[in-house]
Chains A and B, each alone.
Chain A
Amino acid sequence: MPTDPEPTGPAPTGPEPAAPGPADPEPLIGTHGVAFPGGYTRSTGPVIGRFLTELRDGRLVGVRTASGRVLVPPTEYDPLDGSPVTGDHPGVGPAGTVQTWCWVAEPRPRHPFDRPFAWAAVLLDGADTAMLHALDMGEAAGAEPPRALRAGLRVRPRLRPEAERTGAVTDIACFRPEVTEVRDTGRLDYTVRADPALARYLDAQTEGRILGSRARSGAVYVPPREVDPADGTPVTEEVELPPTGTLTTFSVNHVPDPRAPEVPFVTGYVRLDGADVDLLALVSGVDPARVRPGMRVRAEWLPPEERSRTRPSIRWFVPDPPPDPLREPAPEQEER
């Protein structure tokens, strides 16, 4: 039977909204709080008390049920069948595995962190039930959960310093991921002097010209060289190449680069018209998904005031002619 949003026919059982009361007068608003003065004391009993006492000493224990499972955190009964647990309190952890998690991008006042963190159900090694606790993914974490945060992540508790532990579940300040990587932040700095061929190449680019060199074999290299790498003979002449060419291959990059801070960006090999080797360059002005080998491209120059002898003055190559948005896929080359 199809179900309509609202039943037709008589509606005997409401929700005929009851007649509203008289209009509210000027609202009178007060506040109040509910708290037990000095806090409310609960006895722990032997099982929870054992867990909290061991925790204060920096140890994690569970309790074994009659069926052999290990409950962590322990209770006095097996939650599956209500049977009393045994007196066996096996040590567990300290490492464990995240079962499920959520990401708190905007903590509330009662939360244990004032910056983004996770809640996680952690199955400690040796336990059969998981425990909930906060999971610190580091101070750098932002609104989106870190990629490393997944079910299966290995974590360990970070205990509060012994002097601060009181015998509460919060003696575990939080969990944090196991160490799985170290980061090398070293950096080396260099001063490079350009060889004469490279200097001429960069100088020419500040004037909007692309230089190459012709070898004795007739091959044209770009950038220019002093000798032909094929046979070691000196090149015979310098040539000027047009700013147009054909893309021979490319890659789509997802790691930002100082010259291409927006990702993804495309790098490609451009065979300038008249050259016999490819020039490595950025490719722009086209959806990365529509870049194809064989595309005709043209150099786009930096504005003159941004050009410098210390770097290429070609900003990148763009499709030539510009891509027709109605054509799919991108135009293929007409000639090669």
Chain B
Amino acid sequence: MSAPAPDVAVVAYARDVHPGGTGAPEPALVHRVVTAVLEQAGTDRSEVGFTVSGSLDYLAGAPFSFVGALDALGAWPPISESHVEMDAAWALYEAWLRLRHGDDDGGGGGIALAYGFGKATQGSLPDILARTLDPYYLAPLGLDAEDLAALQARAVIDAGRAGEAELARIAERAGPPETGGRVPPLPLRPGHTALPADGAAAVLLATGPAATRIARARGVRPVWIRGLEHRIDVHSPAARDLSRCASAEQAAAAAGVDEGPVHVAELHARHPHEEVLLRAALGLGEGTGVNPSGGPMAADPVMATGLIRIGEAARRVAAGGADRAVAHAAQGPCLQHNLVAVLEAGPDPEEGGPR
């Protein structure tokens, strides 16, 4: 029988987000956050056994643009590296899997790096995201991502899951509405859609001994990933009940969200009604602080936004603001694909069990 899979912890996190866009190229954004997490952890590139990124070439409109970002890593001699054309939360998922399987190339060091980046201000994001739609039935219609979100908002309101006043309150929490000057499809209101930003984020993962060593050196608590699952709904938004989020429910159940209190939740909600759906799907009650970071409504560096949810939740656990947190990432039309992570403080073998 093989050895049990090692525990994996989040040991460092950094982000570099530019809501108004930036002239800095993608490799520069990646370089800043990767350098930051390595410095936080007191390690260097040679100790990273596996590296994986998440990005979307359509954001730059250039094929294989993700390869250029490797310039930021110092990838010579060749490193063990991978890429997902997905939000970088799924890059973290791959890194976590590799560490769990001992499939990192770091000589058993047990450290992996996940990062995501994108410059979403360079094109029309609703149209770019529409390229992911079914090319036979949906893309020819001229339907875009914002239209689809509005359809789901209507389904949420009609099902009695939220009123327009509640949605407005959620939107207000993210700050004053920035509209981009256009009336969005109703029932979305101006300011009810996250505005795309440029940016990057990085998270460093480590298995047991390395995680404990790094956390102790920093004087913080290791943040263990107790559950990490993702599930996906059928592609056509019209073929499912848009007034709930079945795949998020399934991912949350599989990750064990309900096995303890949730002090903080970072949710990948780009519109107010998505927060309502996700609170319900994850079973979050009044005692859970949702999106204390401001969430994607405050800053949406597409392709890093989901990874940032994990990083923001983890840093609150590491610093002691929460003992148990949930992070969520989503992609696809109408919250089609959902990832849920459960993060917990300790136990630190030197200090006993969890608080």
Q: Is the CB of B234 within 8 A of A80?
A: yes
Contacting residue for B11 out of A13, A132, A151, CB 8 A: A13
Complex CA distance for A101 and B138, rounded to whole angstroms: 15
With a cutoff of 8 Å between Cβ atoms, the chain B residues found around residue A169 in the complex are: 136-138, 140-141
Report the stretch among A27-35, A260-268, A274-282 that lies at the interface.
A27-35
Q: Write the nearest CB–CB distance from B35 to chain A, whole angstroms.
A: 7
Q: Is the CB of A14 within 8 A of B141?
A: no
Q: Is the CB of B36 within 8 A of A14?
A: yes
Chain B CB within 8 A of A232 CB: no
Which of chain A's residues has its CB closest to B22's CB?
A24
Chain B CB within 8 A of A220 CB: no
Q: Is the CB of B185 within 8 A of A10?
A: no
Q: Is the CB of B185 within 8 A of A14?
A: no
Known contacts: A13-B315, A14-B13, A151-B158. The answer to whether A1 contacts B323 by CB under 8 A is yes
Q: Is the CB of A106 within 8 A of B183?
A: yes
Interface hub of B136, B153, B292 (most chain A Cβ within 10 A) = B136
Complex CA distance for A52 and B155, rounded to whole angstroms: 28
Q: Is the CB of B137 within 8 A of A3?
A: no
Interface hub of A8, A10, A134 (most chain B Cβ within 10 A) = A10
- List residues 70-97 of chain A with CB under 8 A from any CB of chain B: 71, 73, 79-80
The size of the chain B interface, using a CB distance under 8 A, is 77
The size of the chain A interface, using a CB distance under 8 A, is 62
- List residues 1-42 of chain A with CB under 8 A from any CB of chain B: 1-19, 21, 24, 27, 32-34, 42
Q: Is the CB of A132 within 8 A of B188?
A: no
Known contacts: A3-B264, A3-B289. The answer to whether A10 contacts B138 by CB under 8 A is no
Q: Is the CB of A121 within 8 A of B237?
A: yes
With a cutoff of 8 Å between Cβ atoms, the chain B residues found around residue A309 in the complex are: none
**Interface of B: prevailing SS:** mixed
Q: Is the CB of B320 within 8 A of A7?
A: yes
Complex CA distance for A132 and B150, rounded to whole angstroms: 13
Chain B CB within 8 A of A111 CB: yes
Binary contact readout B19-47 vs A (1 if CB under 8 angstroms, 0 otherwise): 00011100010001101110010000000
Q: Is the CB of B61 within 8 A of A101?
A: no
Complex CA distance for A48 and B218, rounded to whole angstroms: 57
With a cutoff of 8 Å between Cβ atoms, the chain B residues found around residue A145 in the complex are: 186
Q: Is the CB of B143 within 8 A of A119?
A: yes
With a cutoff of 8 Å between Cβ atoms, the chain B residues found around residue A100 in the complex are: 151-152, 154-155, 158, 242-243
Chain A CB within 8 A of B14 CB: yes
Interface hub of B135, B151, B239, B322 (most chain A Cβ within 10 A) = B239
The 8 tightest CB contacts between A and B, nearest first, are A3-B289, A102-B150, A18-B32, A7-B321, A79-B234, A7-B319, A13-B13, A130-B238
Residues of chain A having any CB pair with chain B under 8 Å: 1-19, 21, 24, 27, 32-34, 42, 44, 48, 52, 71, 73, 79-80, 99-106, 108, 110-112, 119-122, 129-134, 143-145, 151, 168-170
18 contacts between A and B (CB under 8 A): A1-B323, A3-B263, A3-B264, A4-B321, A11-B319, A12-B218, A13-B37, A14-B12, A14-B14, A34-B58, A73-B236, A99-B238, A102-B153, A104-B150, A108-B144, A119-B147, A132-B141, A170-B141
